Amino acid sequence: MGWLRAWLCRLLGCPEERIIITTPAAGVTISSPVAVSGVGQATQHNQLAVEVRDASNTVIGMGTASVSAPLGQRGPFSASVTFTPTTPGSPGFVQVFDTSPATGSVTHLASVLIRF
C-alpha cells in the first residue's frame, strides 16, 4: 500500500508533516539533559512544546523549542530538556507538539521511541 501513497503523492502532492524530530533518533539511549532537534512549524510565538515521557506515559521532563523561521513557516528547532532519570534500559519517548492558540489542545504531534 505504501507504493500507492508514494505514487499518489508524486502525482497530486502531499502535505509535509508539520513537525519532524531528527534528534534523538529512534531507539537510542538518552540521558539528561537530552538534545532535541528537527524541523517544524508552530502557530503561536514560533514555540513548540517538548516532553520526555516514561513507559507509563508520565511526563518526566518538559521544555520548549523555538522554530528558527518567520512566524507560521517551517524551520529548524532545537531544545535541551532536563528530565528525571528512570530505570536504565527502560523504554520511553520524546514528543514535540504544537497547540491551538484558541483551545490549547494539541494540533500536531511527533514522537520518537527511546531508551533510558
Percent of the chain with pLDDT over 70: 90
- Assigned domain for 11 exists: no
Q: Is residue 51 in a domain?
A: yes
83 pLDDT more than 60: yes
Is pLDDT above 60 for 15? yes
Contact (Cβ atoms closer than 8 angstroms) between residue 114 and residue 31? no
Q: Which of 5-19, 62-76, 96-110 is the least confident region?
A: 5-19
2 is a domain residue? no
111 CA to centre of own chain: 5
| pTM for the whole structure | 0.83
- Domain extent at residue 103: 17-115
For 8, how many CA atoms within 13 A lie in the half-sphere containing its CB?
A: 7
Residue 5 lies in a domain: no
SS3 helix, strand, coil % of the chain, rounded to 5?
A: 10, 50, 40
**Distance between CA atoms of residues 43 and 101, nearest Å:** 8
- What's 53's domain CATH number? 2.60.40.10
Number of structural domains found in the chain: 1
